[in-house]
Amino acid sequence: MSANKRIVLSSDHAAIDLRQAIASHIATKGWEAVDIGPTTPESTHYPEHGAAAARRVASGDCQFGIVLCGTGQGIMMAANKVDGIRCGVCSDVFSAQMIRQHNDANILSMGARVIDEDLALQIVDAFLDAEFEGGRHATRVDMIKALEA
Ligand code: RB5
């Protein structure tokens, strides 16, 4: 995965405000935010948005993704159906560090109806600041990848 400093952001209708806040936040940290919407509040379908973000990451167009829905769960499930994606839902800072350090997660999911904006931004920072540790964790991540074959 190239370190292209591009992050795709996607959500359903439940998380538009949080997604836009995160896009502004990561831009101040030197990341390019690729916000693929939606921008209008009509009810929409999280699987479509999760898959669209996942494909941007799986193709290498974006280094990471951040996906959001009401709970973070549905859009995470959709993103993980795309080969090459390891997406975890986080509602705490420790888990956000761990999914990078141990699981080499390439997409972070959060729930806009679960956590507030301040915590979400802390979680984003933890995810982006952490690095995959490799070693025994690479063995396990390779085992996840093998499940796609
Ligand atoms: C939409 O009402 C809601 O179901 C969705 O945002 C998400 O929470 C699903 O996992």
> What's the whole-number mean pLDDT along residues 120-142?
98
Cβ atoms 100, 57 nearer than 8 A: no
Q: Is 90 a catalytic residue?
A: no
With a Cβ cut-off of 6 Å, ligand 1 is lined by 12, 14, 46, 69-71, 73-74
CA of 50 to the centre of ligand 1 (A): 12
pLDDT score recorded for residue 1: 44
Number of domains in the chain: 1
User: What is the domain range of residue 85?
Assistant: 3-146
- Tell me: pLDDT of 3 over 80: no
pLDDT score recorded for residue 25: 98
Q: Give 50-65 as a 3 state SS string.
A: HHHHHHHHHCCCCCEE
Q: Render pLDDT for 47-85 as a digit per residue (tens, 0 to 9).
A: 999 999 999 999 999 999 999 999 999 999 999 999 999
Catalytic residue among 13, 25, 45, 102: 102
Beta-bridge mates of residue 67: 10, 109
Q: Quote the pTM value.
A: 0.97
Task: Look up the CATH number of the domain holding residue 111.
Answer: 3.40.1400.10
